[in-house]
Amino acid sequence: MRIFLVICLGLLAMPVSAHKPSDSYLSISRQEQAISGQWDIALRDLNYALGLDDDGDSRITWGELQRHQAQIDAYAFAHLAVNANHLACTLEPVNHQVDKHTDGAYAVLQFSVVCPVTARVLGVDYRLFFDLDPSHRGLLRLQNQDETQTAVLSPEQPMRELSLGTPSNWRAFSEFAQEGAWHIWIGYDHILFLVSLLLPAVLWRVDSRWQPVRQFRTAFVEVVKIVTAFTLAHSITLSLATLQFLNLPSRWVESAIAASVLLAALNNIYPLVIKRIWLMAFGFGLIHGLGFASVLAGLGLPAGALALALVGFNLGVEAGQFALVGVFLPLAFYLRQTWCYQRLTFGLGSWLIASIALFWLLDRSLDLGWGQFN
């Protein structure tokens, strides 16, 4: 019972800003002996760190960006270092652009990498925004002639050494699997949607009232249906969007995800869909897959490397989901007959989820900017 009280308190303490997690895209390319780089950084993140919006109209113009360009360069390159065979290289900005990603506008910093020796091992030390947002990730792509390597840079692992020989496919696969698991755990909207669907799995509707199920098998089968449907659905759209077959504006996707959380929670309070909840999980899971896809879509990987990253990331997401279910279901079944579960966890918990989801929906659909750095 105490554990479920902790869960309810956790809902109260959960951050309400649950847009796409903060990522930047760092590409380094070596052709012959020349090394160049391109760094795509979200304008919303730079604005939060440096205050680029001079007139406070919530829009960053090209003129405002140009006025702050030296400040942006100084800030960004103070948080990035590259070395060749453990000898420091010099990073020299050469051009600036703006590009549109699925989740908004990004500043594009193009730079040259001048190293004192011919690189056999390239080291990258990345620390951008880690002091402001521990969930930020740098997604690194290294193009060495015709070979592509990828890595995920985080506060826990800000440094990478990449051999310019044959890349390790297993390492890239495992890193993106870890990243998939991480994104489900920090994707509060995805978690709350899944929790909203799982809450009634240990109950059944009789005479307009929720009653506890008698057998664990009943709840287990229902949960398997829900999780399988959700997994299948978001795997489909995650793949389609990552492979560029499907592309919708991030604002629409994030608003629809918030709406799905709201409707799933309200369905617990005012039940309309009682049977075949797995159909709801599948339908809304298609939308959630588009939310996951933005992580990989901006990397610009070639087909082989992209397929490997996609499979690893998707399996990581599934592992994160099953870990959540593995903790939730036994506890929910054990406490299903108690006041703590039926009134507090199920009843109050659904109201809390609905309230948070309504906040997200208003913020995202109306672009109110209530959740800043996320």
- Establish if 236 belongs to a structural domain: yes
- Same structural domain for residues 229 and 338? yes
pLDDT at 233: 92
Please say whether the beta carbons of 151 and 175 come within 8 A. yes
33 has pLDDT over 80: no
Q: Are residues 278 and 344 in the same domain?
A: yes
For residue 206, pLDDT over 60 is answered with: yes
CA 260, CA 189: separation in Å to the nearest integer? 9
Q: What are phi and psi of 58, to 5 degrees?
A: 65, 20
Q: Same domain for 33 and 160? A: yes
pLDDT at 298: 67
Neighbouring-strand partners of residue 98? 107
The total of other beta-carbon atoms located within 10 Å of residue 31's CB is: 10
Tokens standing for 151?
């890595």
25 pLDDT higher than 60: yes
Residue 124's pLDDT band, with cuts at 50, 70 and 90, is very high
pLDDT of 3 = 46
pLDDT of residue 310: 84
Based on the structure, what is the number of domains in the chain?
Answer: 2
Q: Which of 311 and 294 is assigned the larger pLDDT?
A: 311
Same domain membership, residue 224 and residue 334:
yes
Query: pLDDT tens digits, residue range 243-259?
Result: 878 888 888 888 999 99
Question: With contact defined as beta carbons under 8 Å apart, do 371 and 19 qualify?
Answer: yes
152 with 278, same domain: the answer is no
Per-residue pLDDT for 61 more than 70?
yes
Mean pLDDT of the chain: 85
In this prediction, residue 98 carries a pLDDT of 93
Residue 166: the pLDDT is 63
Q: State mean pLDDT over 229-247.
A: 87
Q: Is the same domain home to 343 and 219?
A: yes
Residues 28 and 163 reside in one and the same domain: yes
Which of 138, 167, 196 lies at the terminal end of a domain, its last residue? Answer: 167
pLDDT digits (tens, 9 = 90+) for 172-205: 788 888 888 887 887 888 899 999 999 999 998 8
What is the C-alpha separation between 243 and 112, in angstroms, rounded? Answer: 29
Is 79:126 a contact under the CB 8 Å cutoff?
yes
Q: What is the DSSP letter of 345?
A: I
Q: What is the pLDDT of residue 369?
A: 61
Asked whether residue 11 carries a pLDDT value surpassing 70, the answer given is: no
What pLDDT is stored for residue 168 in this prediction?
A: 64
Q: Is residue 181 one of the residues assigned to a domain?
A: no
> Is the confidence at residue 275, as pLDDT, over 70?
yes
Residues 159 and 274 in one domain: no
Within a domain: 374: no
| pLDDT 10s digits, 314-345 | 888 889 888 989 999 999 999 999 988 988 89
Q: Are residues 193 and 334 in the same domain?
A: yes
pLDDT band at 5 (very low <50, low <70, confident <90, very high): very low
Pairing assessment for the beta strands 137-144 and 23-31 based on DSSP bridges: parallel
- Angstrom distances, CA of residue 311 to CA of 98, 114, 131, 147, 320: 30, 35, 31, 19, 14
Q: Is residue 355 part of a domain?
A: yes
pLDDT (0 to 100) of residue 43: 93
Question: pLDDT over 90 for what percent of the chain?
Answer: 48
Asked if residue 126 has pLDDT above 50, the reply is yes
Q: Residues 34-49: what's their mean pLDDT?
A: 93
User: Other CB atoms closer than 10 Å to residue 54's CB: what's the count?
Assistant: 12
The residue segments making up the domain with residue 314 are 2-18+187-365
Q: Are 296 and 344 in a shared domain?
A: yes
Verify that 33 and 110 share a domain, yes or no.
Answer: yes
CA dihedral of residues 26, 245, 243, 97 (deg, nearest 10): -10
Residues 263, 143 share a domain: no
Per-residue model confidence (pLDDT) at position 13: 45
Residue 354 has pLDDT above 50, yes or no: yes
